[in-house]
Amino acid sequence: MKAKSINYIEDKVLDGERITQEEALHLLEEAHLTTLGFLANEVRKRFHPDGIVTFVIDRNVNYTNVCVAGCKFCAFQRKVGSPEGYVLDTQEVLKKVEELIQWGGTTLLMQGGLNPDLPLSYYERLIYSIKERFPQVQVHSFSAPEIVYLAKIEKLSIREVLKRLKEAGLDSLPGGGAEVLSSEVRSFLSPGKCTVDEWEQVHRTAHELGMTSTATMMFGHVEKPHHIIEHLERVRRLQDETGGFTAFIPWTFKRGNTQLDHIEEASTLYYLKVLALSRIYLDNFKNIQSSHVTQTMQVGTVGLHFGANDMGSVMIEENVISSTSYKVNIPKVEDMVEAIRSAGFVPAQRDTYYRVIRTFE
CA distance 110 to 94: 12
**Banded pLDDT at 339 (limits 50, 70, 90):** very high
Beta-bridge partners for 154: none
pTM: 0.93
For residues 177-191, give the mean pLDDT.
91
Q: Is 114 exposed, middle or buried (0-12, 13-18, 19+ CB in 10 A)?
A: buried
Residue 290: which domain range?
2-359
Convert the pLDDT of each residue in 137-160 to its tens digit. 999 999 999 999 999 999 999 999
**Radius of gyration over alpha carbons of the chain, in Å?**
20
3-state DSSP of 305-359: HCCCCEEEEEECCCCCHHHCCCCCCCCCHHHHHHHHHHCCCEEEEECCCCCEEEE
Indicate if the pLDDT at residue 213 is higher than 60.
yes
CA distance 304 to 309: 6
Give percent of the chain with pLDDT exceeding 90.
79
Q: 96-112 as b/e, with b when 16 or more CB fall inside 10 Å?
A: bbeebeebebbbbbbbb
Binding residues for (3R)-3-methyl-D-ornithine, by number, are: 143, 291, 313
Binding residues for S-adenosyl-L-methionine, by number, are: 73, 179
**How many domains is the chain partitioned into structurally?**
1
Binding residues, by number, are: 67, 71, 73-74, 143, 179, 291, 313
Give the domain CATH number at 55. 3.20.20.70
Q: Of the candidates 65, 40, 56, 133, which has an alpha carbon nearest to the alpha carbon of residue 340?
A: 56
With H, G, I as helix, E, B as strand and everything else as coil, classify residue 232: helix
CA distance 321 to 38: 30
Binding residues for [4Fe-4S] cluster, by number, are: 67, 71, 74
Can you spell out the DSSP letters for 137-201? SEEB---HHHHHHHHHHHT--HHHHHHHHHHHT--EE--TT-SS--HHHHHHH-TTS--HHHHHH
Instruction: Count the residues in the chain.
Output: 361
